[in-house]
């Protein structure tokens, strides 16, 4: 089996592809892989580290307003299709899968023109421009949220879930929290705003530091590199030092930490949703207001509607509201357990197996 995957720009597009590649390697050790991305996207850092062969094409997104840059974009898109065809002819894949981002538009479309079986994987409840464009050309559309089905041809839809969820579900509990100076036997909240952090969440955290330092439950916060010094300075200025409150710029073993906590506070990206439902974690979700079609709010509502999560609007986020919501969940064991059960019920524990089945079906 020869598998070509493409997706880029954000981790939400990259990690599902990487998870699928790992799973296929386990099931089909003889399989060969190629990942096509850009040299500027996050994929250029993540994919090579995973030991997956990686090639690049040059492409960029269209501006939403009238701009001369769109002329260049159109030229690059046509050129990237031609470049993708050359890569495809050299690699000779049995199947090509796109997971989102502008780069996979050219790659998957080129595969379609070359007569190669294709599929796309849509992680969000509302699809992006790329997957909407590709839906008419691919053999199958794999989705993670039932709500996404309305945007695609019904005869092509397969509800698979997100492969990242199945990957983290295999992890065993450990004493990883002790590596961060926390106790393994105390209820713990993890707060993070993504790999780059989130300004509004950082401001709320700073406002709530004094109160959070007094709580009996533990708080581990990943601020992102850009906001770490700001939070550290605020703690120092206020004389805040508590063994139950730990701040780090980044958590590089996130999946291990997630397995050992009791509540997640985060944005509502598709990968995060997949991870927390696979692990059966309660969550306080603060959707980013800076995403296309407000899809994070729709992602979050899929959990809020079944009692697995609470939603706090970014516009209503403050130190007071953050601490209030945390107390309401962390100081009520019964509520937290109920949310955990609902979260686990919403997860798709065999997501990677389902996606692999779709791949094998269209080859």
Distance of CA 287 to the CA centre of its chain: 13
Contacts of 129 (CB under 8 A, 6+ apart): 292
Convert the pLDDT of each residue in 326-362 to its tens digit. 999 999 999 999 999 999 999 998 999 999 999 999 9
Q: What is the DSSP annotation of 335-362? A: HHHHHHHHHHHHS-TTHHHHHHHHHHHH
Question: The whole model's pTM is what?
Answer: 0.86
Phi and psi at residue 28, in whole multiples of 5°? -135, 80
Question: Is 195 labelled a binding residue?
Answer: yes
End-to-end CA distance of the chain: 9
Buried residues in 36-67 as b, exposed as e (16+ CB within 10 A): bbbeebbbbebbeebebebbbbebbbeeeeee
**Count of other CB atoms within 10 angstroms of residue 289:** 12
Task: Select the more confidently predicted residue: 321 or 72.
Answer: 321
Q: What is the Cα–Cα distance from 341 to 238, expressed in whole angstroms?
A: 38
Q: Has 124 been labeled as part of a binding site?
A: yes
pLDDT of residue 188 exceeding 60, the answer is: yes
Residue 270 has pLDDT above 60, yes or no: yes
Lowest mean pLDDT among 167-171, 190-194, 195-199, 240-244: 195-199
Does 253 belong to an annotated binding site? no
Structure tokens at 234: 């605020």
Tokens of 229: 């010094």
State residue 12's pLDDT score. Answer: 86
In the prediction, which pLDDT does 163 show?
A: 93
Instruction: Give residue-wise pLDDT tens across range 56-69.
Output: 998 756 555 545 45
Distance CA 340, CA 336 (A): 6
Residue 10 marked as a ligand binder: yes
Q: What is the mean pLDDT of the chain?
A: 93
Closest residue by Cα to residue 339 from 259, 265, 282, 261: 282
Residue 76 has what pLDDT? 76
Residue 237 is predicted with a pLDDT of: 93
Q: Which two tokens stand for residue 272?
A: 């995060």
Average pLDDT over residues 254-263: 95
Q: Over 80: is that where the pLDDT of 321 sits? A: yes
- The DSSP result for 192-257, as a single string, is E--TT--HHHHHHHHHHHHHHTT-SSEEEEE--HHHHHHHHHHHHHHT---TTEEEES--TTHHHH
Residue range 286-305: average pLDDT? 92
The H or E element containing residue 143 is strand 140-143
Average pLDDT of the residues in 240-265? 94
Paired with 122 in beta bridges are 143
- State yes or no: pLDDT of 139 exceeds 80: yes
Task: Determine if residue 291 is left, alpha or beta; phi over 0 gives left, psi from -120 to 50 gives alpha, anything else beta.
Answer: beta
* Angle value at C-alpha 190, between 238 and 204, nearest 5 degrees: 45
Q: Are 339 and 308 in contact (CB under 8 A)?
A: yes
Q: Per-residue pLDDT averaged across 14-38, rounded?
A: 95
CB 205 within 8 A of CB 233: no
- Please provide residue 229's backbone torsions phi and psi, each rounded to the nearest 5 degrees: -65, -35
Q: Is 9 annotated as a binding residue?
A: no
Q: Residues of the chain with pLDDT > 90: what percent?
A: 82
Q: Is 349 exposed, middle or buried (0-12, 13-18, 19+ CB in 10 A)?
A: middle
Question: Which stretch of DSSP H or E encloses residue 153?
Answer: none
Nearest to 205 by CA among 321, 297, 122: 321
Q: What is the mean pLDDT of residues 118-127?
A: 95
What is the percent of the chain where pLDDT is above 70?
A: 95
Residue 99 pLDDT class (50, 70, 90 cuts): very high
Residue range 218-244, pLDDT digits in tens: 999 999 889 999 999 999 999 998 999
Q: Is 251 annotated among the ligand-binding residues?
A: yes
The answer on pLDDT for 71 being more than 60 is no
Question: Would you say the C-alpha torsion 341, 172, 53, 88 has a positive or negative sign?
Answer: negative
User: Given a cut of 90, is residue 213 above it in pLDDT?
Assistant: yes
Q: What distance in Å separates the CA atoms of residue 307 and residue 334, rounded to the nearest whole number?
A: 13
Show the domains of the chain with their CATH numbers: 2-162+350-362 (3.40.50.2000), 169-346 (3.40.50.2000)
pLDDT tier at 70 (50, 70, 90 boundaries)?
low
């Amino acid at each position: 089996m020869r598998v070509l995957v493409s997706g880029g720009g954000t981790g939400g597009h990259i990690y599902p592809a990487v998870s699928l590649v790992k799973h296929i390697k386990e099931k089909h050790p003889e399989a060969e892989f190629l990942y096509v991305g850009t040299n500027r996207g996050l994929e250029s850092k993540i994919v090579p580290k995973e030991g997956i062969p990686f090639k690049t094409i040059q492409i960029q997104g269209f501006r939403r307003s009238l701009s001369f840059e769109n002329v260049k974009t159109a030229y690059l898109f046509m050129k990237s299709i031609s470049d993708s065809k050359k890569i495809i002819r050299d690699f000779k894949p049995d199947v090509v899968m796109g997971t989102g981002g502008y780069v996979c538009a050219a790659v998957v479309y080129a595969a379609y023109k070359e007569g190669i079986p294709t599929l796309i994987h849509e992680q969000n409840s509302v699809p992006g421009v790329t997957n909407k464009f590709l839906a008419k050309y691919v053999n199958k559309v794999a989705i993670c949220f039932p709500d996404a089905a309305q945007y695609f041809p019904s005869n092509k839809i397969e509800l698979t879930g997100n492969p990242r969820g199945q990957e983290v579900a295999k992890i065993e509990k450990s004493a990883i929290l002790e590596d961060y100076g926390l106790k393994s036997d105390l209820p713990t909240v993890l707060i993070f705003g993504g790999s780059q952090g989130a300004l509004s969440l950082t401001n709320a955290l700073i406002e709530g530091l004094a109160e959070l330092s007094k709580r009996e439950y533990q708080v581990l916060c990943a601020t992102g590199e850009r906001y770490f010094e700001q939070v550290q300075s605020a703690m120092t200025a206020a004389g805040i030092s508590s063994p139950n409150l730990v701040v780090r710029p980044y958590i590089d073993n996130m999946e291990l930490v997630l397995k050992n906590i009791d509540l997640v506070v985060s944005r509502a990206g598709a990968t995060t949703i997949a991870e927390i439902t696979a692990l059966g974690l309660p969550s306080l979700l603060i959707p980013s207001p800076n995403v296309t079609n407000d899809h994070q709010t729709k992602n979050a509502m899929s959990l809020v509607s079944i009692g697995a999560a609470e939603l706090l609007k970014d516009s209503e986020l403050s130190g007071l509201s953050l601490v209030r919501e945390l107390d309401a969940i962390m100081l009520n064991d019964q509520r937290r357990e109920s949310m955990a059960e609902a979260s686990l019920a919403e997860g798709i524990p065999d997501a990677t197996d389902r996606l692999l089945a779709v791949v094998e079906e269209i080859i």
